[in-house]
Structure formats: structure tokens, C-alpha cells
Amino acid sequence: MASDPQLDLSFLTRLGVDGTHLSGTSTGRHTLDPATDADSPASLRSTTPVDGSLIATVASTDRSQYEEVVARAQEAFRFWREVPAPRRGEVVRQIGDELRAHKDDLGRLVAYEMGKITEEGKGEVQEMIDICDFAVGQSRMLYGKTMPSERPEHRLYEQWHPLGPVAVITAFNFPVDVWAWNAMIAAVCGDVIIWKPSEKTPLCAMAVQGIVARVLERNELPEGIFSVVQGGREVGEFLTTDERIPLVSATGSIRMGREVGRTVAVRLGRTLLELGGNNAIIVSSQADLDLAVRAIVFGAAGTAGQRCTTTRRLIVHEDVFDELRERLIRAYSGLRIGSPLDPETLVGPLVDADAARAMQEALEQLKASGGEVLFGGEILDGEGFEAGNYVRPAICLAENDFPIVQEETFAPILYLMRYRELNEAIDLQNGVRQGLSSSIFTNDVREAEAFLSARGSDCGIANVNIGTSGAEIGGAFGGEKDTGGGRESGSDSWKVYMRRQTNTINWGRTLPLAQGIEFDV
Ligand code: NAD
């Protein structure tokens, strides 16, 4: 347990994840027995970024437990696909209500196990609640089209059917809501869900599964509608190589996405990939700098730079460059860095000391390319920072084509660069392999529209006078290029979780063929 004796950890008990060695593998209401003891190499160590101490060990899912999970998921699917979609929506509504009741505790657990500040942890749970509400409405809107048939007395239409067991593989930095984005929509579509959370945040998944299990039990629903398997890459590969899993939704690094994409493609399965970003904000000479500064600081330093949508590059018009740089340095100087559980903190720790070392290496590479660190970047030491994973967010001078600027370093580093003409700024913004989120700050409608036009941003998300991070659930979320091309959450993302069937009904007494073909026998 964490070394701070003042720390109130009662939320672990209320969420049912207190204990030293836990089994996180579960189908619906049943937790499968731990297959390993705490010292086994197959156990995951859940440590808190607050001070690096061990919270608990969690048994990794072994092959036989995995087989049990898939068998129960298949059995549950045979039942769930027959339940009317609005009734499935009612179950999701109840999950949303349970999440409302546990919002504070689950938000604290997210902060404790992942390291984001508690306010953002609770925001993540709010996003789960929002997607539940969205999914309830969606459950009555799984629309198919009716098309005019070219043949007389024929009806041509399409309908959508559930796919089967859907795998959801998630990253450490959004340990609960990315599951909800996928699972709540997939559930109203009639799919059953097998979740493999990050090996760094197994307890968050266990707590969510406990919340869901209560709803399943109350409604006497079969086990296996929602299951969890725990482990690292090997357990992820159980899912990606498994022909019984028609869709794998995977969120994480580009490296992971390439592996998952290849493996699932070989068996002609489907993937939904949500991978790394390298997001930029363009600040025009026509920008409201007050707005821009607030958005940049939240986007670049918030969540300690550990969002896929974190602002990593700032492309600034030369007329406002000096002023913006000074204002940012002033704002960064006032950022309160500390425990994510302290309500005064704005910047919490990185997930672990390795991430802090990776940030140092990135800054060294930047300097070797000719860049300059203007502010921050150091690993903090002293009381409360002994774990070596607290850093001061960095502001740097850089060029877009430096190798390190082309990469996503999962830490709070903001690279500043100048531009003169808007086209040049858009080329810089688009001049990376990733394509997740982007924005422009300008009060000039021509600049804004050019940025949003076909010759503008090439990202999945393009904003005006809003930063790159903090998307709403109502829109489709995802990115282009190396970010993977997937879309989840709102809009018509539900279609990814279903299979489309085209139906033609002949209600006449003749058999006209399409395209007017004559084939008399
Ligand atoms: P990661 O790639 O290390 O791991 C992500 C998940 O994939 C984990 O559950 C891991 O166990 C699993 N995994 C890894 N290799 C696998 C394989 N070969 N087969 C199956 N599963 C495998 O990522 P991370 O460090 O946990 O998260 C940070 C990354 O995630 C960043 O790149 C960030 O940008 C990205 N991310 C993207 C989005 C998005 O929506 N685009 C959202 C959150 C995070």
C-alpha cells in the first residue's frame, strides 16, 4: 500500500478492489479463481504513480481461463442478440446509473492507479456516463435504409445485425472510458464484449466489471455479456489471433496498432484502431491570445502530456510568436505539480519513472538536432517526488522535421515553431505521420474555413478556437494516417460493431432478373 499514512484508500474497498492478490479475470458476475500466486511472473503489479508503491498484484489470465471466457461470451451472445435493442439500451441505462453512484470513487481510483488528477479522473467517469446516455438513444436508432428496387413488386432494404464477441484492448491513459465508448455502443448493437485493459491499470477494469456485474445480476442476465481478461501483450494476442472474435478494437501506440492490424488482417477479421497522435495548434496573428494560452496549457501540460490528443506542436505566426512564448512561460511557471489526489494539483506524475526517463531522452535528442529547451523538462526531486516520475512540463524551440518532433513522446513536451503564411502552417501541421487532432486559433473566418477545408487539416479532428484535447462523445472520435483510421463513440460509429445485410424480397408472381437479364428455362 502507498506509504502516505494520511491517504484515504476507502474507495478501494467500496469498489471491491482491496486486497493484496486479486483475480481480475471474470465473465459477468463470476470472477474466475486466481491461477497464479502473487510471486508468479504471470501476475501483474498494479503500482500507483502517486509514489510508486504497490497497490496489489493481479493474476494474469491463462489459456484455460481464456477459453472459459470465450465459451461463456459465445453462449451469452446467442441470448443477447435476440434481446430487442431498446431492452439492451435499458440495461445500459442502468449501467449509467450505477456509474453515477460510483463516480467519485471510480474517479479517485483512476487518479490513484493511472496518475491523472482526480478532477480529470472524475471527468473520465462522466464521459462513461455520457456515452451510456448516448447508447440508450442509439438503441432505438439502429437504422437501415430502404432503397427503391429496379424490379417491380420487389422490396430492397438493408438491416444491421450484431457481430458476436468483440474484443476491446485499451491503453493505460484512459483506463475506463475508452472501454465504455466501445462497450456501451457494442452492447446496444447486440454484441458481447471481452475487455483486455492495460497491464498498468488492472484494478480500474476490475472495479468497472464489479459495477457492471451488479446490473447483470439484478436483471438476471447471462454471464459473458461483459468479460475481462487481464495481462499484457500475450493475452492481447489470445484475442487478436482468435477467429471467434470478429472485431478487435485496439487503443494504444502505433507500434501496437501495426501488430494488431497485421495479425487480425491475416485471419480477415476486422479492426478498429485508435493509435498515437502528434497534435498541433496553429496560432494565427488574428488569434485571441487569452483563449489560446488557456487551451494550449491545458492541451500540452494537462494529464502530464499523456493524452493521445495532447498538444505537442505549436505553430505560431511570427507576429505573435514572442508574446505567446512569454505568456506560456509565465503560465507554466504557475502550474502546480504534485500528487494527483491533491485538489490543488494541476499536473500529476507520469505513469512511471521509465516515462520520465523517456522524456529526458527526447529532450536530449531535441538538443542534438539543434533545438532548445526554453522552460522546464527536469525530473523533480525532494519530498513527495521520490518515485522519480514527476516532471516539469517543457516548452521547447524546434523544427518540424527534427526526428524527435516527428514522434509522439508520451510526456509534457511542447515544441514551438514559427510560420509566416497560413499554407505554410497547414503544411507543418500535416507534416507528420500521425493524424489525430488539430486546431487553429483565429478570429478570421477565411483562415478558419481554409483550415477546415479539403486543403486544410488532414486529421480526424479539426477545431477552431478550441484546443486539441477534450473531445465530446457526440462526435465520431479517431484519426487518420498512422493514428489508424478508426472511429468510435458518437455519430454513426455504431455501424462498426454490426454487420450489414442487404435484403431483397420479391412479393410478385414473376421472377424479373436485375439489369433486365433474360434467362428463360
Ligand atoms: P501500448 O501500445 O503500450 O498498449 C496498449 C494496449 O495494447 C495494452 O493493453 C497492451 O497490453 C496491448 N498490446 C500491446 N501490444 C499488443 C499486441 N501485439 N497485441 C495485442 N495487444 C497488445 O499503449 P499505452 O502505453 O498503454 O498507451 C499510450 C498510447 O496509446 C499512446 O500512443 C497514445 O497516443 C495511445 N492512445 C490512443 C488513443 C486514441 O484514441 N487514438 C487513446 C488513448 C491512448
- Alpha carbon 343 to chain centroid, angstroms: 24
What is the C-alpha to C-alpha distance for residues 394 and 409, in angstroms, rounded to an integer? Answer: 12
Which residue type does 252 have? G
Region 24-49: mean pLDDT is 78
Please report the pLDDT score of residue 36 as a whole number.
58
Residue among 253, 433, 482 to mutate when testing ligand 1 (max atoms within 8 A of CB) = 253
Helix %, strand %, coil % of the chain (to 5): 35, 20, 40
322 C-alpha to ligand 1 centroid (Å): 37
What is the C-alpha to C-alpha distance for residues 377 and 359, in angstroms, rounded to an integer? Answer: 8
What is the C-alpha to C-alpha distance for residues 46 and 30, in angstroms, rounded to an integer? Answer: 21
What is the C-alpha to C-alpha distance for residues 158 and 146, in angstroms, rounded to an integer? Answer: 6
> Grid coordinates representing 406?
516527428
274 C-alpha to ligand 1 centroid (Å): 8
Please report the pLDDT score of residue 6 as a whole number.
64
Residue 394 has pLDDT above 80, yes or no: yes
> Grid coordinates representing 371?
533545438
Look at the block and give the residue holding cell 434481446: 83
439 closest CA partner among 255, 337, 298: 298
- Label the pairing between strands 226-228 and 434-435: unpaired
Domain boundaries, the chain: 64-275+488-499, 279-474
Region 296-316: mean pLDDT is 98
pTM over 0.85: yes
Other CB atoms within 10 Å distance of the CB of residue 222: 18
256 C-alpha to ligand 1 centroid (Å): 6
CA distances from 241 to 62, 68, 131, 182, 261 (A): 15, 16, 29, 20, 11
Residue 1 banded pLDDT, cuts 50, 70, 90: very low
| Percentage of the chain lying above the pLDDT 70 cut | 97
Beta-bridge partner residues of 498: 162
55 C-alpha to ligand 1 centroid (Å): 22
Please report the pLDDT score of residue 2 as a whole number.
45
Residue among 173, 434, 459 to mutate when testing ligand 1 (max atoms within 8 A of CB) = 173
* Torsion sign across C-alpha atoms 66, 69, 72, 78: negative
Please report the pLDDT score of residue 27 as a whole number.
78
169 closest CA partner among 61, 277, 45, 302: 61
Residue 3 banded pLDDT, cuts 50, 70, 90: very low
**What 3-state class would DSSP assign to 232?**
coil
> Grid coordinates representing 373?
529547451
What is the C-alpha to C-alpha distance for residues 21 and 19, in angstroms, rounded to an integer? Answer: 6
245-269: pLDDT as tens digits: 999 999 999 999 999 999 999 999 9
Among the four given CATH numbers 3.40.309.10, 3.40.190.10, 3.40.50.300, 3.30.980.10, the one describing domain 279-474: 3.40.309.10
Contact between 307 and 173 (Cβ < 8 Å): yes
Q: What kind and span of H or E run contains 321?
A: helix 321-333
Please report the pLDDT score of residue 33 as a whole number.
66
DSSP, res 313 = E
Residues counted in the chain: 521
Please report the pLDDT score of residue 502 as a whole number.
98
What is the C-alpha to C-alpha distance for residues 141 and 136, in angstroms, rounded to an integer? Answer: 9
Compute the mean pLDDT over every residue in the chain, rounded to the nearest whole number: 96
Could you tell me which CATH class the domain 64-275+488-499 is placed in? alpha beta
Q: What is the CB < 6 Å shell around ligand 1?
A: 169-174, 178, 196, 198-199, 232-233, 236-237, 240, 251-253, 256, 259-260, 274-277, 308, 408, 410, 436, 479, 483
Greater confidence (321 vs 30) lies with: 321
Other CB atoms within 10 Å distance of the CB of residue 204: 28
Known catalytic residues are 274, 308
Residue ranges in 55-201 assigned as alpha helix (H): 63-80, 85-101, 103-114, 118-138, 177-189
Q: What angle do CA 391, 397, 401 make, to 5 degrees?
A: 110
Torsion-angle region of 168 (φ positive above 0: left; ψ -120 to 50: alpha; else: beta): beta
Look at ligand 1, atom 12, and give the residue with the nearest C-alpha: 233
Position in ligand 1 atom list of the atom nearest CA 257: 2
